[in-house]
């Protein structure tokens, strides 16, 4: 089965997985009023692959492009365009059922090659076999990297010594045919509507943490796996597309993903105790994943700029100095992100076994630029839009024979701007910035794909500080003959 239809994908989610929502087990995630929205959002990936309009952007050699390891800067640019285009179809919300999983597969492939070379293991063959299985089965993947972590100031073994051994996921039993794992990962996106979960370590480890240095893949319905879904954004079930043009139709689910003594067959184990490789694996995944992130943020920043431009026009303020200042800022914010995303691809380096890795310095500059300015971008859109963002009348008022004419009379913008059009633009801005979806995007900006501090660290680590200091010394006349 080289590629699946949207319906085949949705049908594949009926496999007895243990998913809970608000304390209740959900037997059919596709039929659930909230999870169904997320499953149909994810199906966009399969719709896009079927659509001839996207041609070889979505499909390469009969398989989803997501599964094609990037070999060159051009491949990375094509992957970025695919992610951007698909997110655009998803109404600014990333689809993610192949993006994050293939980020993990590429990182696993690089680290497995390195481990095999240094330790004489045979991880790369395993990773390749699993990769092929996912590509040929056209599977949907979640990645569970972030551990629950407990006391952030302490590492896994340190917390074990204090009586909390399960702050990080760990190996509790090693068998000849596989391993048994226990622990929980938090914030796992798309897991209720994925086929497989790839588990990665979340941080660097020391020798004492060897049991926590673990990576593997497991089907979502594996015995012992429990998904406790977050109710955040659950109001999508009651939303109408007039008031919430994005979040009535698009949603991603996150879960607390519990591994209660889950058996993982040897063939699916990609790291089991090689603690020296936990940090590099975590980091390599994150570099791919932040490139995915900056690619999927592009429709969101475009939508913020577009909504602000539209509302400035509808409100008759597009020539005001302070408004032009804010619009220019929003456009530069979006286009700086796009330029950095392209540069990150062009500055890639190819690592064994022949995978192009986006430039970590540029990727993290882009992510930092996006994340640290996001709330300011939101503030500018809200400023231009006005208070109707949270005081708008309902779709039912506009549709009412009695109230509709009043709404249309009083809520138009400048002359010639229809009230319904203006309300639609306002509702878009409200959904992006003032709804539960807007709040989700704000938290996502700060935390998803790693913290802002982690991005700063990577920028510091990857900049050629020695060359910059030497240049400054030269200019200052320090340690030079003429100084």
Ligand X SMILES: Cc1cc2nc3c(=O)[nH]c(=O)nc-3n(C[C@H](O)[C@H](O)[C@H](O)COP(=O)(O)OP(=O)(O)OC[C@H]3O[C@@H](n4cnc5c(N)ncnc54)[C@H](O)[C@@H]3O)c2cc1C
Distance CA 244, CA 335 (A): 26
Is 458 one of the binding residues for ligand X (CB under 6 A)? no
User: How many of the chain's residues bind ligand X (CB under 6 A)?
Assistant: 21
Q: Which is nearer to ligand X, 92 or 343 (CB)?
A: 92
- Pick from 26, 363, 366, 448 the residue near ligand X by CB under 6 A: 448
Cβ 188 to ligand X shortest distance, Å: 5
- H or E stretch at 142: strand 141-144
From CA 407, how far away is CA 21, in angstroms rounded? 38
64 is a site residue for ligand X (CB under 6 A): no
7 binds ligand X (CB under 6 A): no
Radius of gyration over every alpha carbon of the chain, rounded to an integer in angstroms: 24
- Shortest spacing between CB 226 and ligand X, in angstroms: 16
Residue 215 binds to ligand X (criterion: CB under 6 A)? no
Q: How far apart are CA 200 and CA 449, in angstroms?
A: 13
144 binds ligand X (CB under 6 A): yes
By CB under 6 A, residue 218 contacts ligand X: no
CB of 152 vs ligand X, minimal distance in Å: 3
- Residue 255 binds ligand X, judged by CB under 6 A: no
CA distance 416 to 216: 60
DSSP, residue by residue, 281-325: HHHHHHHHHHHHHHHHTHHHHHHHHHHHHHHHHHTT-TTSHHHHH
Q: Please identify, among the stretches 32-40, 208-216, 302-310, 449-457, the one whose residues bind ligand X according to the rule CB under 6 A.
A: 449-457
Q: Would you count residue 409 as binding ligand X (CB under 6 A)? A: no
Of residues 143 and 323, the one with the C-beta less far from ligand X: 143
Please tell me the distance from the alpha carbon of residue 342 to that of residue 294, in angstroms, as a whole number: 10
Instruction: Check residue 290 for interaction with ligand X (CB under 6 A).
Output: no
Peptide bond preceding 291 in cis form (omega within 30 of 0): no
- Which of these segments, 6-14, 57-65, 372-380, 440-448, binds ligand X (CB under 6 A)? 440-448
E strands, 266-362, in order: 269-272, 349-351, 355-357
| 81 lines the binding site for ligand X (CB under 6 A) | no
Which of 174, 322, 324, 447 is the binder for ligand X (CB under 6 A)?
447
In terms of Cα–Cα distance, which of 119, 52, 31, 106 is closest to 76?
Answer: 106
Residue placing its CB nearer to ligand X in the complex, 330 or 448: 448
- Which burial class, exposed, middle or buried, applies to 477 when counting CB atoms under 10 A from its CB (0-12, 13-18, 19+)? exposed
Q: Does the footprint of ligand X cover residue 479 (CB under 6 A)? A: no
CA nearest to 180, candidates 262, 257, 258, 260: 262
Query: Contact residues for ligand X (CB under 6 A)?
Result: 100, 143-146, 149, 152-153, 185, 187-189, 254, 443-444, 447-451, 453
């Amino acid at each position: 089965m080289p590629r699946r239809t949207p319906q085949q994908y949705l049908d594949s989610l009926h496999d007895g997985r243990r998913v809970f929502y608000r304390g209740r087990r959900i037997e059919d995630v596709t039929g659930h009023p909230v999870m169904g929205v997320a499953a149909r959002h994810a199906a966009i990936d399969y719709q896009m692959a079927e659509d001839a309009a996207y041609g070889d952007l979505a499909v390469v050699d009969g398989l989803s492009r997501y599964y094609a390891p990037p070999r060159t800067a051009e491949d990375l640019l094509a992957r970025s365009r695919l992610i951007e285009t698909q997110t655009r179809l998803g109404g600014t919300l990333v689809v993610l059922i192949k993006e994050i999983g293939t980020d993990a597969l590429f990182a696993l492939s690089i680290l497995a090659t390195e481990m095999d070379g240094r330790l004489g293991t045979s991880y790369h063959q395993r990773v390749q076999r699993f990769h092929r299985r996912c590509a040929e089965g056209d599977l949907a993947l979640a990645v569970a990297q972030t551990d629950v972590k407990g006391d952030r100031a302490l590492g896994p073994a340190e917390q074990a010594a204090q009586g909390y051994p399960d702050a990080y996921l760990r190996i509790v039993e090693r068998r000849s045919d596989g391993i048994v794992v226990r622990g929980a990962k938090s914030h796992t996106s798309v897991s209720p509507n994925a086929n497989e979960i790839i588990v990665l370590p979340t941080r660097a480890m020391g020798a004492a943490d060897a049991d926590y240095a673990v990576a593997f893949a497991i089907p979502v319905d594996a015995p012992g796996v429990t998904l406790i879904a977050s109710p955040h954004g659950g109001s999508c079930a009651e939303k109408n597309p007039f008031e919430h043009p994005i979040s009535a139709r698009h949603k991603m689910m996150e879960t607390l993903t519990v591994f209660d003594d889950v058996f993982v067959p040897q063939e699916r184990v990609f790291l089991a105790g090689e603690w020296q490789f936990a940090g590099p694996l975590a980091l390599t995944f994150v570099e791919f994943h932040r490139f995915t992130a900056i690619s999927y943020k592009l429709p969101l920043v475009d939508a913020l700029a577009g909504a602000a431009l539209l509302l400035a026009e509808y409100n008759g303020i597009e020539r005001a100095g302070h408004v032009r200042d804010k619009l220019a800022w929003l456009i530069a914010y979006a286009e700086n992100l796009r330029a950095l995303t392209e540069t990150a691809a062009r500055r890639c380096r190819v690592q064994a076994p022949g995978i192009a890795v986006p430039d970590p310095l540029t990727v993290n500059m882009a992510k930092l630029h996006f994340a640290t300015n996001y709330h300011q971008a939101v503030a500018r859109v809200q400023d231009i839009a006005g208070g109707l963002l949270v005081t708008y009348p309902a779709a039912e008022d506009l549709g009412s024979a009695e109230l509709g004419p009043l709404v249309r009379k009083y809520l138009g913008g400048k002359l010639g701007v229809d009230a319904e059009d203006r309300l639609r633009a306002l509702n878009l801005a409200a959904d992006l910035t003032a709804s539960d979806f807007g709040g989700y995007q704000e938290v996502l900006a700060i935390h998803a794909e790693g913290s802002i501090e982690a991005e700063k660290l990577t920028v510091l680590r990857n900049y050629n500080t020695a060359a910059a200091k030497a240049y400054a010394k030269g200019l200052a006349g320090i340690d030079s003959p003429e100084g």
